[in-house]
Amino acid sequence: MSHDPRVNIAWLRFEDYDPSVVISEEVDFGLRELGPADRHLVGLEYWQASKRLPSDLLAMLPAPPVGVTS
Protein backbone atom coordinates (compact mmCIF):
# COMPACT_ATOMS: atom_id res chain seq x y z
CA MET A 1 0.00 0.00 0.00
CA SER A 2 0.98 3.60 -0.46
CA HIS A 3 -0.66 6.98 0.08
CA ASP A 4 -0.09 10.35 -1.54
CA PRO A 5 -1.69 13.04 0.64
CA ARG A 6 -1.14 15.69 -2.07
CA VAL A 7 -3.77 14.01 -4.24
CA ASN A 8 -5.49 12.15 -1.35
CA ILE A 9 -5.25 8.75 -3.05
CA ALA A 10 -4.23 5.43 -1.47
CA TRP A 11 -3.22 2.35 -3.44
CA LEU A 12 -3.31 -1.31 -2.52
CA ARG A 13 -1.52 -3.42 -5.10
CA PHE A 14 -1.10 -7.18 -4.90
CA GLU A 15 1.96 -9.17 -5.95
CA ASP A 16 0.73 -9.97 -9.46
CA TYR A 17 -0.21 -6.33 -10.29
CA ASP A 18 1.05 -5.33 -13.74
CA PRO A 19 0.13 -1.75 -14.71
CA SER A 20 0.70 -2.47 -18.41
CA VAL A 21 -2.20 -4.95 -18.61
CA VAL A 22 -4.48 -4.20 -15.65
CA ILE A 23 -8.19 -3.65 -16.33
CA SER A 24 -9.55 -0.76 -14.26
CA GLU A 25 -13.18 -0.46 -13.27
CA GLU A 26 -14.52 2.65 -11.59
CA VAL A 27 -16.40 1.93 -8.37
CA ASP A 28 -17.88 4.19 -5.68
CA PHE A 29 -14.56 4.50 -3.76
CA GLY A 30 -12.20 4.84 -6.75
CA LEU A 31 -10.90 2.01 -8.92
CA ARG A 32 -10.93 -1.76 -8.76
CA GLU A 33 -8.05 -3.18 -10.80
CA LEU A 34 -8.32 -6.65 -12.32
CA GLY A 35 -5.94 -9.07 -14.00
CA PRO A 36 -6.68 -9.50 -17.71
CA ALA A 37 -6.65 -13.31 -17.88
CA ASP A 38 -9.31 -14.20 -15.33
CA ARG A 39 -10.28 -10.76 -13.99
CA HIS A 40 -9.05 -11.53 -10.47
CA LEU A 41 -8.50 -8.58 -8.13
CA VAL A 42 -4.93 -7.24 -8.32
CA GLY A 43 -5.34 -3.76 -6.87
CA LEU A 44 -7.53 -1.08 -5.36
CA GLU A 45 -7.25 2.69 -5.64
CA TYR A 46 -9.03 4.76 -3.00
CA TRP A 47 -9.95 8.31 -4.02
CA GLN A 48 -10.57 10.75 -1.16
CA ALA A 49 -8.61 8.31 0.97
CA SER A 50 -8.74 10.51 4.07
CA LYS A 51 -12.54 10.19 4.08
CA ARG A 52 -12.63 6.45 3.33
CA LEU A 53 -9.76 4.92 5.30
CA PRO A 54 -8.69 5.24 8.95
CA SER A 55 -6.24 8.10 9.54
CA ASP A 56 -3.98 5.78 11.59
CA LEU A 57 -3.63 3.51 8.56
CA LEU A 58 -2.89 6.37 6.17
CA ALA A 59 -0.25 7.77 8.53
CA MET A 60 1.62 4.43 8.38
CA LEU A 61 1.67 4.19 4.58
CA PRO A 62 4.72 5.18 2.55
CA ALA A 63 4.63 7.60 -0.35
CA PRO A 64 4.04 5.98 -3.74
CA PRO A 65 7.03 5.11 -5.92
CA VAL A 66 8.28 7.91 -8.16
CA GLY A 67 6.18 8.18 -11.30
CA VAL A 68 2.95 6.76 -9.88
CA THR A 69 1.29 10.18 -9.63
CA SER A 70 1.74 13.20 -11.81
CB 25 within 8 A of CB 32: yes
Which residues have CB under 8 Å from 53's CB, separation 6+? 10, 46
> pTM, whole model, 2 decimals?
0.85
- Contact present, 58 and 49 (Cβ < 8 Å): yes
pLDDT digit string, tens, across residues 57-69 = 999 999 988 765 4
For residue 4, the cross-strand partners are 9
Q: According to the model, what pLDDT value does residue 16 have?
A: 84
